Each structure stands twice: as C-alpha cells, then as structure tokens.
A and B are shown apart, each in its own frame.
Chain A
Amino acid sequence: MSAVRPASTDELFAILLARDLRPEDRTIMVGANMPMARAAAMLAGMTTHPDARILIGLGVQSLGGADEAPPVHPFLFDPRTLEAESLMYQSRVFDDMSRPDVFFVGGLQLDQRGNLNLFGIPDGEGGWKMRGPGGLALSTMSTHCRGYYVVMPRHDARTWVSRVSLITALGDATERERLRFPGGGIRLVLSPYGVFDFDPAGDMRVRSLHEGVDPDEVQAATGFPLNIPADVPRTVAPSEEELRILREQVDVHGTLAG
C-alpha cells in the first residue's frame, strides 16, 4: 500500500462536492472565497463533467480533455481570468436565469430549515451587533439555480441555529414551494462532521457522518434537534485515485491541504 496522506477537510469537501454533481449539470458557478468549491468544479470538469462550463471570476472555462486546471489567482476577478472561452458579464448572467445549474455558498448562520444568513447579526434595535458580507447575489442564485451546495467550515451551536436572525437565501422547502421558486434548493450541506440533507418535512437530517464522528458529538454541536437516522452511514472516504487527481492536476499548489 502506498502511504497516501489522508484528506484535509477542504480536500474532503472538494471531493464530496464533485461526486455529488449530477450528469445534467452543465453550468457551474464558483464565487469568491470558496477554494474547495473551485477545486470541486475543476475536478468534475476534468473527469465526470467534460461538457460543463465553469464560471470563475471574469471568465468561463471548459475543461473537457484538459490535463491541468487553470491557474489560481489571489482574487476572483483577476484580469488573467479573461483568458477564457467566454466572459462572465454580470448582466448576461441575470438575463438568463435558467442557465446556471449549480453554485456553492457558505454562511454566517444556517438553520434547521436550510435558511442562510449572510447579512449579519442584528442588535435588536435596528442596528448591527455584527455586520456580515451582505446580500451578494445569494438570494437570486438560490431562487433560480437547479441546486446549490452549502459548505460550512464551522459547525457549532452559534452557527447552526434553530432559526437564522435574517434570511439571505431561503432554503425552507415548504416556503420555496409556496412562493413558487423555480430553483431546486439545497442539495447538500457539508461540515467537518458530516453530510446533511433535508427530510420530507424540510428539516435537516444527517446523511452521513465522516470517519471518527459519532452522532452525539454532531448533535451537541448543533443548535437544533437533528434528524439522525438510527443506522447512520459513514461518509465514503476519498479514494487514492480521487486524491491523486485532486492533488496532482487540480490543487497543484496545495491550497486545500491545510
């Protein structure tokens, strides 16, 4: 057996995201500050999704047949991302809301119903206890995309709350249906403890726990009662081949190695 270094949390996230993409996903959008999502999109584009168009920064990339991922730059809208097959005009993205299939997002707060808050924590008197990044395009993308993935590097009871203070992206499946949202909503939530989705009533449920995590531990870190199936599966660990491609062809500078 070769001694392959175990996956870091970000490497695990990237591989789990890439695995979960659906065959029909053709337009994948990657935002700022999510290197694991960028790596997931690249990994899929170079393996399972050769037809995918990946929107990164100012450009649109297509990686079918590529043996190397495009270079990583310090900022999303680096001018070198203009070396692309098409450009990402903000206006054109919003002019064709049927096109983006998938995007990825994190949040300050996530609740039992899948609602996300990026606005910040209000002080209860019309001001802010902590002002967050703001709306970005999260409301729009979460309303329209075929599906989105929530990546939460932090999993504690302050972040995973029974009800978010403010809603930036409405995840609640019941509300989404009532309001006739065209998009498919949250596909998965990833945390350092496990993989989560939502039960038929729209409450968060454990889909799998990562190696070494027990159900009591994840419940203790969550500010609401999790739906934990009796026989909860283990997350299928990254294979050596998945890690090899990720490290040698996608994340060549080891950004995710942590």
Chain B
Amino acid sequence: MSTAAAGERRPVLASLDEALAVVQDGATIGIGGAVTAGHPMALVRALARRGVRDLTVVAPVGGIEVDLLIAAGCVKTVVGAYVGMEVVAAVGPVFRRAAQSGAVEVVELDEAHALLGLRAAAQELPFLPWRGGVGTSFSQLNPTLVEFDDPVRGEPLLAIPAIELDVALIHAETADRFGNAQWAGTGNMDMQLGAAAKHVVLQVDRVVSNTEIRRFPERTFFWRETAVVHAPFGTHPYSSGSMTADEQHLRDFAAAARAGDEAVADYMNRHVLDVEDDVAYLEEIGIRRISSLLV
C-alpha cells in the first residue's frame, strides 16, 4: 500500500508565479511590512504583473506596495491605517489620487484596529473590543467599526470586526523548505496577517536548512498553508534586516507619481510590468545600488 510508505515531509518551495496562483480576482489579501520596512515587494510586483483585479488590500501601515497595485489596476479597496513614504511622501501619491477621485474605496483603521481585526479573524471571533477610536470620526468614516456599551462595565467601546484574509503576502529573512519562517527584526504585523489568512505566501531572502532553523526555535513562526518563495533582496526598494530602504528610488517614484499618469506608467513598465521576473528587476536596479544599501 502506498500509504504504508511513511511519507517524506512535504516541501513547500514554489516559484513566484506558482505561489501567487492562490490569489484570485476579488480576493482579500494582506500585505506585510510597515512604513518603509519589510514589505514583500517581489510578491507585489509579480502580482501586479499577473494583472489580478478587484483586490481588497489590507495594508496595516502601507507604502509603495499599495501604490504599485493601484497603478497596475488591481485594487478595489484599501484597508489600513496609513499609506505613504514617510519623509518622501506623507501620503502615497498614487493612493492619494485614487482615494480623492473615488477610484479606490478606503476602509479607515487605526494601527491597533488592524491588529485587533486580524486577531479576531485568527481567533475565529466576529470582533474584538478596543477603546482607541471611541469619540473620534472613525465610525463615521468606516461604518464597520461599531460603538457599543460593554456588557461588563458599561463603558463605551468600539467593536473591531474580524479581518479575514484569503491570502497573506509576507517577507521574512529566512525559512526552511517546510515553511518555518524567521525574522531578523520584529516582523511588524506579519505573524498576525499570516494567522488571519487561509494561505500564506512567504518570500524570503534566504532558504536555509531545517537544522539552521532549529538553532533559534524561539524565532520560528509557521502557518497551516504556506508557500515559500526564494526572493533575495526582494524587499527593494524597502528595507530588510540586512538592507536599508532605497531613498533615491522612492524619491524617483514619488516624483513620477506627482508628475502624473504617464510618468507612473513609465515607472510601472520599466520596473514592474515589462520585467520578466524579480531577478530582471534587480538587474535593472543594479548591483552597485543594491550593495550600497547593505548594512
């Protein structure tokens, strides 16, 4: 009997395109990282190239990844507390235009609401209570946030509805081929995004042995359904544990986005759409630039 052949452990390594096949039109996807750190840009670029449509993008503290997906026409709704590039652009320029024109719907959250909503999904709860946001305009801007009197002490609280994700796109420094992931830093909200998702697509700078993972088991996170994609320097233009963000590249993108649709289209063609894969993207960026970012 074939079942008697006690199985080999199943590896979950995949190519960018194989791993992203789980993302369907209309899906709700979470994207990890925060501000200028740890966004899974190789996955985002590949998704933009594939041209999926009508995504709901949950980006707790988002950046250029949201701008790129909007510019590629993939996004219907953005859910999160921020989309921007900090000192480079207080508000993501493509996102700002799309939000102002109504081209994308924005579901406003506080950063803590994003965490609570993901936790509620992970805990199979309809909502979790939170105090921050009571008495503000949050429930007016985002009617899914409901003020209620708590049944224990009668205090006014906000119900943060569960944020259930079809797919979480996450970057980690390392993983083994079985989907055990480890970060160099805090991992931002990546663990919670993974726990709220049916599928996790993980891009890593290095695929390491299970023996290597076992040296630091306290750092390991894993989820039920995970695909691991090897994408060295795949957070560019954002930082990883070993690379700073590429300020010049972000400034160039912001300038293009401010110049208008044509300049954005040029950027998208050069860096995202007319690019065969993420290695070709990195070739275009150049080893001189990449090496200047390493810490």
Contact = CB atoms under 8 A, between A and B. Distances in A.
Whether A associates with B in a native complex is yes
Interface of A: 32-33, 58, 73-80, 82, 87-91, 94, 119, 127-144, 166-170, 175-176, 179-182
Given A82-B185, A91-B192, A74 B247 contact: yes
Contacts of A169: 136
Of all A-B residue pairs in the complex, the 3 with the closest CB atoms, nearest first, are: A140-B132, A77-B37, A137-B111
B180 interface: no
Contacts of A119: 108, 137, 141
**Majority secondary structure, B binding face:** loop
Given A128-B100, A167-B137, A175-B135, A139 B156 contact: no
Interface string B96-107: 100111100000
B295 to A, nearest CB: 6
**Interface size bucket, B side?**
35 or more
Contacts of A182: 131
Contacts of B83: 134
B110 A137 contact: yes
A74 to B, nearest CB: 5
A167 B34 CA distance: 24
B37 A131 contact: no
Contacts of A89: 186-187
B84 interface: yes
Nearest to A108: B90
A91 B189 contact: yes
Contacts of B242: 79
21 contacts: A33-B87, A33-B90, A75-B37, A75-B87, A75-B247, A77-B36, A78-B37, A78-B245, A80-B295, A82-B185, A94-B116, A129-B100, A133-B82, A135-B81, A135-B82, A136-B81, A137-B132, A139-B112, A140-B131, A141-B132, A168-B137
Given A73-B244, A179-B134, A136 B189 contact: no
